[in-house]
Amino acid sequence: MKKVILTGDRPTGNLHLGHYVGSLKNRVALQEKGDYDEMYVFIADTQALTDNFKNPKKVRDNIIEVAIDYLSVGLDPSKVTIFIQSMISPLCELTMYYMNLVTLARLERNPTVKQEIRQKEFGNSIPVGFLNYPISQTADITAFETTIVPVGDDQLPMIEQAREIVRSFNNIYGETLVEPNALIPDNKVCRRLPGIDGKAKMSKSIGNCIYLKDDSETVKKKVMSMYTDPNHLRVEDPGDTKNNPVFIYLEALSTNEHFRKYLPEYKNLEELKSHYEKGGLGDVKVKRFLYDVIEDILTPIREKRKYYEENIDLVYNILEEGSKKAKEKASETLNKVKKAMLIDYFDEKTF
Ligand code: TRP
């Protein structure tokens, strides 16, 4: 079987460090490893509109921002097809057919959807389009015969639901669709990075993110203001590293090379942690190191961003070419689906 990798992001804001450690870094590594037949990364504007339908300008503006984020972290359009979801009309048709295979109760039970409904305070007025998005996401995944979906752990319920739809479809209409598998980062702390305020998740709507686009000054301010261990009042006090976002970020981002470069008195994170836990290590010193680590990662990304910002036509070309290519592949799958569902009337003139 072919190895097809696919993943996407909603264009509702710039991508941040949570996206970087949870998925972007992984994608670039997969791209460089080259162990796949096809790889797709896309901007999920149709999905973004399910809860931003009153705010089309936001989605429009962020298409190009997310595209630049992708290219700046190193996604390479000669290796990966980068496209825009709404440009691929077969995805809507697939969604329509898959809707028959899913109950309302099943959608309402999806833990990620459930949490979002609560967060967005929809109450009893849940838009159908929003509730439907796991089905539309199944169309995204299956249209490309995706086998591997690299995502953060909040997306696991979506992949599970996609697998159920695939099984149900194949059961009823015969073996047609490919069952996808999620790929989550090995490093557990990377699966869900907390916000700089220590809240469970780095999230644009909470405003606790460090963006890939942030300049050095902004990053410094954010890092220096980060929540740490509230009981670590004086330098001599023993500190907690487990629920401390500064240490969680270091766990996700720092390498031994960073220690050699910026904090040679410690060999590695283990040493730094044990000093903090024992007492005698101040937050400011750890934060300064974290700032250096983040800057080390963001500096090359910022340079690439500058290039693409100055060459916007090139970015649009990449998106247009990618969308054309993606549409061809999705159309092939749609044809298979319609054939399996016996809605290929003019190919098979039965009587
Ligand atoms: N739901 C994803 C997010 O919130 C975006 C997305 C849409 C996606 N379709 C997808 C991710 C298909 C992986 C595969 O960011």
Residue 24 lies in a domain: yes
* Ligand 1 centroid from CA 124, angstroms: 25
Closest C-alpha to ligand 1, atom 2: 9
Q: Which of 4, 5, 9, 92 to mutate to test the pocket of ligand 1 (most atoms within 8 A of CB)?
A: 9
CATH number at residue 53: 3.40.50.620
- Predicted confidence at residue 120, as pLDDT, reads 87
10 lines ligand 1 (CB under 6 A): yes
For the chain, how big is the Rg over CA atoms in Å?
22
Note whether 176 and 50 are same-domain residues.
yes
User: Cα–chain-centroid distance for residue 152?
Assistant: 6
Note whether 299 and 335 are same-domain residues.
no
Number of folded domains that form the chain:
2
Separation of alpha carbons 6 and 158, rounded Å: 14
- Predicted confidence at residue 181, as pLDDT, reads 97
151 lines ligand 1 (CB under 6 A): yes
Task: Note whether 27 and 72 are within 8 A (CB).
Answer: no
Residue 175 lies in a domain: yes
Note whether 301 and 317 are same-domain residues.
no
Q: Residue 185 corresponds to which tokens in the numbers above?
A: 């980062």
Separation of alpha carbons 95 and 136, rounded Å: 5
Note whether 119 and 32 are same-domain residues.
yes
Residue 176 lies in a domain: yes
Ligand 1 nearest-atom number relative to CA 44: 7
* Ligand 1 centroid from CA 298, angstroms: 24
Ligand 1 nearest-atom number relative to CA 137: 9
Note whether 269 and 290 are same-domain residues.
yes
What's the length of the chain?
351
Note whether 61 and 147 are same-domain residues.
yes
- For helices 156-173 and 111-119, give the axis angle rounded to 10 degrees: 130
91 lines ligand 1 (CB under 6 A): no
Residue 211 lies in a domain: no
Chain position carrying tokens 């305070």: 121
232 lines ligand 1 (CB under 6 A): no
- Predicted confidence at residue 188, as pLDDT, reads 84
Note whether 27 and 101 are same-domain residues.
yes
Residue 209 lies in a domain: no
* Ligand 1 centroid from CA 327, angstroms: 18
Note whether 337 and 242 are same-domain residues.
no
Q: What is the pLDDT along the chain (351 residues), one digit of tens a residue?
A: 899 999 999 999 999 999 999 889 999 999 999 999 999 999 999 999 999 999 999 999 999 999 999 999 999 999 999 999 999 999 999 999 999 999 999 999 999 999 999 988 888 899 999 999 999 999 999 999 999 999 888 899 999 999 999 999 999 999 999 999 999 888 888 888 999 999 878 988 888 999 999 999 999 999 999 999 999 989 999 999 999 999 999 999 999 999 999 999 999 999 999 999 999 999 999 999 999 999 999 999 999 999 999 999 999 999 999 999 999 999 999 999 999 999 999 987 889
* Ligand 1 centroid from CA 106, angstroms: 19
Note whether 79 and 161 are same-domain residues.
yes
Sheet bearing 81-84, strands edge to edge: 81-84, 38-43, 4-9, 148-150, 181-183
Count Cα atoms within 13 angstroms, Cβ side, for 327.
Answer: 13
12 lines ligand 1 (CB under 6 A): no
Q: Residue 243 corresponds to which tokens in the numbers above?
A: 């629920």
Q: Residue 4 corresponds to which tokens in the numbers above?
A: 């097809």
- Predicted confidence at residue 3, as pLDDT, reads 97
- Predicted confidence at residue 106, as pLDDT, reads 97
User: Cα–chain-centroid distance for residue 280?
Assistant: 38
Q: What is the largest CA-CA distance in the chain?
A: 86
Closest C-alpha to ligand 1, atom 9: 137
Count Cα atoms within 13 angstroms, Cβ side, for 182.
Answer: 20
Closest C-alpha to ligand 1, atom 6: 8
Q: Which of 153, 155, 156 to mutate to test the pocket of ligand 1 (most atoms within 8 A of CB)?
A: 155
- Predicted confidence at residue 349, as pLDDT, reads 86
Could you list the residue range(s) of the whole structural domain that residue 32 is in?
4-192+312-348
Residue 200 lies in a domain: no
Count Cα atoms within 13 angstroms, Cβ side, for 55.
Answer: 12
H or E element, residue 266: none
Note whether 91 and 177 are same-domain residues.
yes
Residues 6 or more apart whose CB falls under 8 angstroms from that of 183 comprise: 26, 148, 149, 150, 151
Note whether 37 and 147 are same-domain residues.
yes
* Ligand 1 centroid from CA 10, angstroms: 7
* Ligand 1 centroid from CA 41, angstroms: 10
Residue 127 lies in a domain: yes
User: Cα–chain-centroid distance for residue 326?
Assistant: 19
Separation of alpha carbons 34 and 1, rounded Å: 16
Note whether 18 and 94 are same-domain residues.
yes
- Predicted confidence at residue 291, as pLDDT, reads 98
